[in-house]
Amino acid sequence: MDGPRPHRPTIELLESFPTEAQVGTTIDFTVRVSCHEGCDLGGGVLEVVDADGTVQTSQLSRADVEEGVVADLSVKAPPRTGAAKWAIGFPEQEIGGCVHEEGSLAFACEVLPHTTSMAIWGVPTPMKGSRFTVNVGIKCSALCPLGGQLVEIWDGEGVKLGEGKLGDEPRPDTDGLYEGEVTLTAPDRTGVFSASVGFSPDELDLPHVDTAGDFTFRCVELPEHTVIVRVVHEEIDAPLGDIEVRLGPYQAMTDSEGVAGVAVAKGTYELSVWRIDIEPVSMRVKVTGDTEIDVAAAPRRIVDEDEERMWM
């Protein structure tokens, strides 16, 4: 006499499995397994098999769901790009005195390389033919360690201008941004120039997408004269240091006495004095030799819009 017919289980994903994932990342998901006869399958075993045949087992938990029991599972995307497939298997097993036949569910996604992003800052205004540095930051979308990776800078004609390596640790107070300082030589003529920063993470363990960025810089003539700018305060209580003084593309910061020495080439410039708590000052200056200029500065006026508004 034949025994009782095995019960048939059903396996389903409780949410959509992602269609894409980055290499090496962990994908969490939840499945529900139910019996057509209404059996409690708590304590049953599931098997997750990846494309390489690796099997990991998980036990179904008892859960307060209307139908079936659930298991929280995770798989790891392979370290290579392309299509990746997995299968969840419910091997034939006896649960609650009833035999349940095997069942399976297949799912897949496209595995993509990690992306990288770039930030460029600290671009100065170099003298023609001089050496200067630019700061470059690179970040991986999966926060991979990028210390020691090479960064290169090229001009608009494809000539390499310089290279540098990212630091061993992320920049402080950032989430995985690795910073490198690249030194390059300015052209031997004045003008505005463009450059490209390239990052090709070929030596990393996992595939990454290259990233690039552009920036411009201005080359100026070598300084011939020094302009001493003295900020004369009018009712300013704060120290007079760290006030930005600009003569065209040339700039300097004042010392604690409100004095800045700006090295410039001969010419006519717009002199500007700025700090957030003082009123901006601007004037036209012609430089033919070493000179001193006094600039009167006053506290920044805060405008109360309510006082300016006419009420009806």
For 254-312, what is each residue's pLDDT tens digit?
A: 999 999 999 999 999 999 999 998 899 999 999 999 999 999 988 887 655 555 555 44
CATH number at residue 53: 2.60.40.10
What is the predicted pLDDT for the residue at 50? 85
Cβ density class 232-260: b for 16+ within 10 Å, e for less:
ebeebeeebeebebbbbbbebebeeebbb
What is the predicted pLDDT for the residue at 312? 46
Tell me, yes or no, whether 189 and 237 share the same domain: no
Q: Which residues contact 181 (CB under 8 A, 6 or more apart)?
A: 133, 134, 135, 136, 164
Instruction: Name the residue with tokens 């036209």.
Output: 284
Question: Looking at 91, 112, 133, which one is the last position of a domain?
Answer: 112
What is the predicted pLDDT for the residue at 62? 61
Would you put residue 122 in left (φ > 0), alpha (ψ -120 to 50) or beta?
Answer: left
How far is 200 from 195, CA to CA, in rounded Å?
16
Would residue 4 count as lying in a domain? Answer: no
Q: Is the pTM of this model over 0.85?
A: no
Sign of CA dihedral 103, 106, 107, 112: positive
Tell me, yes or no, whether 170 and 229 share the same domain: no
The DSSP bridge pattern shows strands 20-22 and 103-112 to be parallel
Would residue 305 count as lying in a domain? Answer: no
Tell me, yes or no, whether 188 and 248 share the same domain: no
**Total tally of structural domains belonging to the chain:** 3
Positions of E strands within 191-256? 191-199, 211-219, 225-233, 244-247, 250-253
Backbone phi, then psi, for 307, in 5-degree steps?
A: -70, -30
Would residue 302 count as lying in a domain? Answer: no
Tell me, yes or no, whether 263 and 230 share the same domain: yes
CATH number at residue 261: 2.60.40.1120
- Residue 263 structural domain: 225-297
Tell me, yes or no, whether 91 and 124 share the same domain: no
Residues in the chain: 312
| Spans of the chain, pLDDT less than 70 | 1-3, 62-66, 302-312
